[in-house]
Amino acid sequence: MKGTLAQVRTYERSVQLLMVNQFTINLGFYMLMPYLAAHLSGTLGLAGWVVGLVLGVRNFSQQGMFLVGGTLADRFGYKPMIVAGCVLRTVGFATLGLVDSLAALIAASAATGLAGALFNPAVRAYLAADAGGRRVEAFALFNVFYQAGILLGPLVGMVLTGVDFRITCLVAAGIFALLSIVQIRALPARRAEDTQKRKERGRESVLAQWRGILANRPFLLFSCAMIGSYVLSFQVYLSLPLEVRRLGGDGEFGTAAVAVLFAVSGLSTIVGQTRVTAWCRARYEPGQALTRGLAVMGLAFVPLLTATAVPVPDSGAGLWLLAAVPPTLAALLLAFGTMIAYPFEMDTIVRLSGDRLVATHYGLYNTICGIGITLGNLLTGAALDAARAAGMPALPWISLSVLGLACAAALYGLHRTGRLATPTPEPQPVTA
């Protein structure tokens, strides 16, 4: 960890602050969100469909507004959108803890989602711009801070929620309020672009910019190919915990085994991300690293597939090992595949954008992947149900492995055909 912090200090202040900001954003978010459903259904006594509505509004407002958030960041600057997102999440989180009417809860949930849509593309575009030629390494460090927030947030939230969920909400809101103040005072305004570029961007309408991005076939093909990585990585929160509880039960063992899944995923990234990135950067081109990362993620489900051939013991240590070890290995391999791919993924988006309207590209990319996650989770859930009904426990793991390998093949094809390379700028007319 000392080496990671020493590496962070080699970047300029804005990059360092963005990494700390992302850790704090995830800390505040994940200390609250895992416990929101229980608060809505338990403390407030809301029906299941209402809980689903409130949570769905948050997800929809974030995924649906990413493109708008990225466009605003390119239009008005990265810092204003980062600050606006943090202020909006402060209000949303405080409201979630203080109100009990459905209308207010939906409004607060929508605000928290919109906040993410405002600051996520802006943070990544800002980091890419100020990291310069060290983008890949910067995004590797960024992922370390990102995962550290995800790992610590639920632990802090569990302690606070044990006292009162309202305290959790207010502490999370306080974190975002403090973060807003720090960014207003300490985050430098993003350096202005070249004057000519700014003039051209100002003359171009938003719809024209969006049409230009939608005409960028390599970017769209890359975005679609990367959907699989997000569907697969999300299985740490969906199919892997369900598999642990299917075999290990919902008691203390099942709860502890699920906690181990999350810990393995987060800690392995914190410990290994920068080393994995340095190793891959020294040996592979970005397209090759992306292909290998997706292939590893697809192979992550082989331990679970292998375990389906083992008879399930009725009880005892054999049952516990079968319930815990294959999902934990899968979580570790998913984390390793993500470590390989993520920094090169973020860098490739910037390169395919031609270093123009970067935040808007990130916004559209997040929207495409968000839609893919939703559809992928629906299909994964259907596969899990079908597997149980048909007595074919291998079906979900075969499907997920095929998805990962198919996306790896698609990325390999894009790399071999040169579509992941930096586009050549169009020649500009010379004024006589």
Q: What is the pLDDT of residues 86-105, one digit of tens each?
A: 999 999 999 998 988 889 99
**Domain at 206-419: CATH code:** 1.20.1250.20
Burial class (CB in 10 A: 0-12, 13-18, 19+), 286: buried
Q: Looking at residues 57-82, what average pLDDT do you find? A: 91
Give yes or no on whether 10-186 and 206-419 have one common fold.
yes
Share of the chain above pLDDT 90, in %: 56
Instruction: Annotate 86-134 with DSSP letters as a single string.
Output: HHHHHHHHHHHHH--SHHHHHHHHHHHHHHHHHHHHHHHHHHHHHHGGG
Higher pLDDT, 33 or 415: 415
CA distance linking residue 343 with residue 346, whole number of Å? 5
From residue 146, how far is each of 86, 166, 181, 246 by CA, in Å? 16, 25, 20, 30
Q: Looking at residues 22-29, what average pLDDT do you find? A: 94
Q: Is the pLDDT of residue 123 over 80?
A: yes
CA distance linking residue 116 with residue 297, whole number of Å? 26
Q: Looking at residues 58-79, what average pLDDT do you find? A: 90
Phi, psi for 127 (deg, rounded to 5): -60, -45
Question: Whole-number mean pLDDT of the chain?
Answer: 88
Q: 133-147, 239-253, 326-340: lowest mean pLDDT where?
A: 239-253
What pLDDT, on a 0 to 100 scale, did the predictor assign at position 192? 46
**Local confidence band at 432 (pLDDT 50, 70, 90 cut-offs):** very low
Domain residue limits, the chain: 10-186, 206-419
Q: Is the pLDDT of residue 364 over 50?
A: yes
pLDDT (tens digit, 9 = 90+) per residue, 256-288?
Answer: 888 888 889 889 999 999 999 999 999 999 999
Q: 3-class DSSP state for residue 191?
A: coil
What pLDDT, on a 0 to 100 scale, did the predictor assign at position 194? 44
Contact (Cβ atoms closer than 8 angstroms) between residue 29 and residue 151: no
Second-level CATH architecture of 10-186: Up-down Bundle (1.20)
Report how far apart the first and last C-alpha atoms of the chain are (Å, whole number).
57
What pLDDT, on a 0 to 100 scale, did the predictor assign at position 189? 82
Q: Is the pLDDT of residue 224 over 90?
A: yes
Higher pLDDT, 428 or 87: 87
Q: What's the pTM?
A: 0.89
Instruction: Annotate 383-403 with DSSP letters as a single string.
Output: HHHHHHHHT-TTHHHHHHHHH
From residue 423, how far is each of 207, 332, 348, 354, 355 by CA, in Å? 22, 35, 11, 6, 10
pLDDT (tens digit, 9 = 90+) per residue, 143-201?
Answer: 999 999 999 999 898 899 888 989 999 999 999 999 999 999 999 886 545 444 555 55
Indicate the residue type of 289. A
Contact (Cβ atoms closer than 8 angstroms) between residue 119 and residue 85: yes
Contact (Cβ atoms closer than 8 angstroms) between residue 130 and residue 188: no
- The residues, any chain, with a CB within 8 Å of residue 313's CB and separated by 6 or more, are 319, 322
Higher pLDDT, 54 or 415: 415
What pLDDT, on a 0 to 100 scale, did the predictor assign at position 424? 63
Contact (Cβ atoms closer than 8 angstroms) between residue 17 and residue 145: no
CA angle 210, 123, 237 (to 5 degrees): 95
